[in-house]
Amino acid sequence: MRIVVIGAGIIGSSVAYETAKAGAKVTVLDAGKIAGGASAASFAWTNATGKRPQSYFALNVAGMRAHLDLSREFGNAPWYNQTGSLEWYSKEADWAAQEENADQMRDWGYGVEWISKDRLAELEPEIDLSAIGKSPIVYYPEEGWVHPVLYSASLLRAAKERWNASIHAFAPVEAIDLSAETKTVRTVSGDVYEADVVINCTGSWADRKLEGVPSIPMASTVGVLGFTLPVASTLQRQFHMDDLDVRPDGAGRLMIHKISVDDVVPELGDLDPKGREAGLLIDAVRRVLPAVQPDDLESIRTTMRPIPSDRLTCSGWVPGVEGYYAAVTHSGVTIAPYLGKVIADEVVRGRVHESLADFRPDRFIAAKNGMGQRS
Ligand SMILES: Cc1cc2nc3c(=O)[nH]c(=O)nc-3n(C[C@H](O)[C@H](O)[C@H](O)COP(=O)(O)OP(=O)(O)OC[C@H]3O[C@@H](n4cnc5c(N)ncnc54)[C@H](O)[C@@H]3O)c2cc1C
């Protein structure tokens, strides 16, 4: 079976790796750099906390477990860190919701530990306990984070070296013809690739028109990430305080995300690491980690979060175009290794996965953009 995977982010790389491993002849085409889209600037927290409905929670948990398996498959993969994560809310008004969520997670089999401030001080001595006050603290030991670019590069290299996959960066696809006897994918530069199956892994670009196939309705939003200079900090675990997320990003750098900063940046663009948004990020971190200095922000990046229009994963055969499969999701860093495996099962081995039953593209059939109809 000849498969063309469009998009080489963390989803496309996972799909390419698993389908090649399952025996397919795989070609990967990306419009730009390998993992240069959302996967290049993702907080990349592997988690399922707060994710609903339960089928979506289960998909994320399956992703977390698949990360462990894949990491072993590569022998302690350098991209994966399961250090757990810490969560607290500064306002008492949020404590009941935090407890309700933790109870629900525990009931669904997720690892949840309530820890004391003393225990937190043992785990992360550089966190200023005065920033916590009387807030209850939850520790989620199964959570972690991933370096998505390293992940994608490693999986694509393995797909190429072990199973002869062919990888092409800077090869934007503009047309797909799955109706002709010879099914083809054509790039903007005119190169043509034959395929039995085409898998769309274009993330937030999935709502852009590709000639010959319907697009997927998306409600993608801008995400903003700050990266510090190397800081003399031994922080090992990510922490989540109110809408602030902070984690180590290697070599002493910290990665910072704050939802309220996303909200003040309406579109993609270059942001100044000394500008207003950077100030909001660095001030928020300094309230928790005093070791961080006011001018420690080295860079600030914006990316689109790929979010299908109903916010849930979209994975399955696209109705109306035989041989066309879509794999687009938010929380893609968490879900990717599982999605790669189940897509290889569905596409190459002809099995159907119940775990994807709630996430099929045919739920968008009635959407006005023509989903499910031939264009
Ligand atoms: C700020 C931020 C924080 C996030 N935090 C988390 C988190 O904590 N945990 C989590 O699990 N997820 C998180 N996410 C979401 C996660 O990063 C994404 O779901 C995931 O990276 C999507 O991967 P992808 O491969 O689908 O998309 P991408 O990485 O965007 O890859 C899509 C690729 O398709 C290519 N492409 C597009 N059009 C074409 C074309 N016509 N031809 C060829 N190639 C094409 C692009 O060049 C791109 O490389 C976050 C995202 C953002 C932006």
- 257-283 pLDDT per residue, tens: 999 999 999 899 999 999 999 999 999
Residue 76: pLDDT band (50, 70, 90) is confident
Q: Considering the domain boundaries, does residue 197 fall inside one?
A: yes
For ligand 1, mutation pick of 15, 28, 43, 155 (most atoms within 8 Å of CB):
43
43 CB within 6 A, ligand 1: yes
Q: Considering the domain boundaries, does residue 375 fall inside one?
A: no
Write down which residue in 278, 305, 332 finishes a domain: 305
pLDDT value at position 244? 98
- 138-155 pLDDT per residue, tens: 999 999 999 999 999 999
| Alpha-carbon 119 to chain mean position | 30
Residue 181: pLDDT band (50, 70, 90) is confident
**CB 280 within 8 Å of CB 258:** yes
Q: Are residues 6 and 112 in the same domain?
A: no
Instruction: From the CA of 174, give the closest atom in ligand 1.
Output: 41
**CB 121 within 8 Å of CB 129:** yes
Q: Are residues 182 and 323 in the same domain?
A: yes
pLDDT value at position 369? 43
- 346-355 pLDDT per residue, tens: 999 999 999 9
Q: Are residues 102 and 170 in the same domain?
A: no
308 CB within 6 A, ligand 1: no
Rounded Cα distance between 237 and 258, Å, is 17
Q: Are residues 152 and 288 in the same domain?
A: no
Q: What percent of the chain has pLDDT over 90?
A: 95
pLDDT value at position 116? 98
Q: Are residues 247 and 351 in the same domain?
A: no
Residue 91 Cα to ligand 1 middle (Å): 33
pLDDT value at position 135? 98
Q: Measuring CA to CA, which residue among 59, 3, 18, 11 is closest to residue 341?
A: 18
Q: What is the mean pLDDT of residues 313-331?
A: 96
Residue 224 Cα to ligand 1 middle (Å): 14
Residue 254 Cα to ligand 1 middle (Å): 21
Write down which residue in 259, 289, 305 finishes a domain: 305
Domain region containing 14: 2-45+148-217+309-364
Mean model confidence pLDDT for the chain: 95
Residue 54: pLDDT band (50, 70, 90) is very high
Q: Considering the domain boundaries, does residue 188 fall inside one?
A: yes
Q: Are residues 157 and 124 in the same domain?
A: no
Residue 118 has pLDDT above 70, yes or no: yes
Q: Please give the full DSSP string across 277-291, using - where no structure is assigned.
A: HHHHHHHHHHTT-TT
Residue 35 Cα to ligand 1 middle (Å): 8
42 CB within 6 A, ligand 1: yes
Instruction: From the CA of 245, give the closest atom in ligand 1.
Output: 8
Q: Residues with Cβ < 8 Å from 276, sequence gap 6 or more? A: none
**CB 191 within 8 Å of CB 172:** no
Q: How many domains does the chain have?
A: 2
CATH number of the domain enclosing 230:
3.30.9.10
Q: Considering the domain boundaries, does residue 62 fall inside one?
A: no
Q: Are residues 126 and 246 in the same domain?
A: yes
144 CB within 6 A, ligand 1: no
Q: Are residues 292 and 238 in the same domain?
A: yes
Q: What is the mean pLDDT of residues 200-228?
A: 97
Q: What is the mean pLDDT of residues 299-326?
A: 96
pLDDT value at position 368? 38
Q: What is the mean pLDDT of residues 178-196?
A: 95
Residue 365 has pLDDT above 90, yes or no: no
Q: Are residues 235 and 334 in the same domain?
A: no
Residue 367 has pLDDT above 50, yes or no: no
Residue 285 has pLDDT above 90, yes or no: yes
Write down which residue in 305, 324, 342 finishes a domain: 305
- Residue 193 pairs in a beta bridge with 185
- 221-262 pLDDT per residue, tens: 999 999 999 999 999 999 999 999 999 999 999 999 999 999
- Residue closest via CA to ligand 1's atom 52 equals 42
Q: Considering the domain boundaries, does residue 322 fall inside one?
A: yes
Residue 375 has pLDDT above 70, yes or no: no
Q: Considering the domain boundaries, does residue 190 fall inside one?
A: yes
Q: Are residues 38 and 153 in the same domain?
A: yes
Q: Considering the domain boundaries, does residue 69 fall inside one?
A: no
Q: Considering the domain boundaries, does residue 193 fall inside one?
A: yes
What does each C-alpha distance from 135 to 59, 83, 93, 265 come to in angstroms?
Answer: 30, 22, 11, 30
Q: Are residues 153 and 134 in the same domain?
A: no
Q: Are residues 177 and 237 in the same domain?
A: no
- Residue closest via CA to ligand 1's atom 48 equals 37
CATH number of the domain enclosing 329:
3.50.50.60
Residue 38 Cα to ligand 1 middle (Å): 3
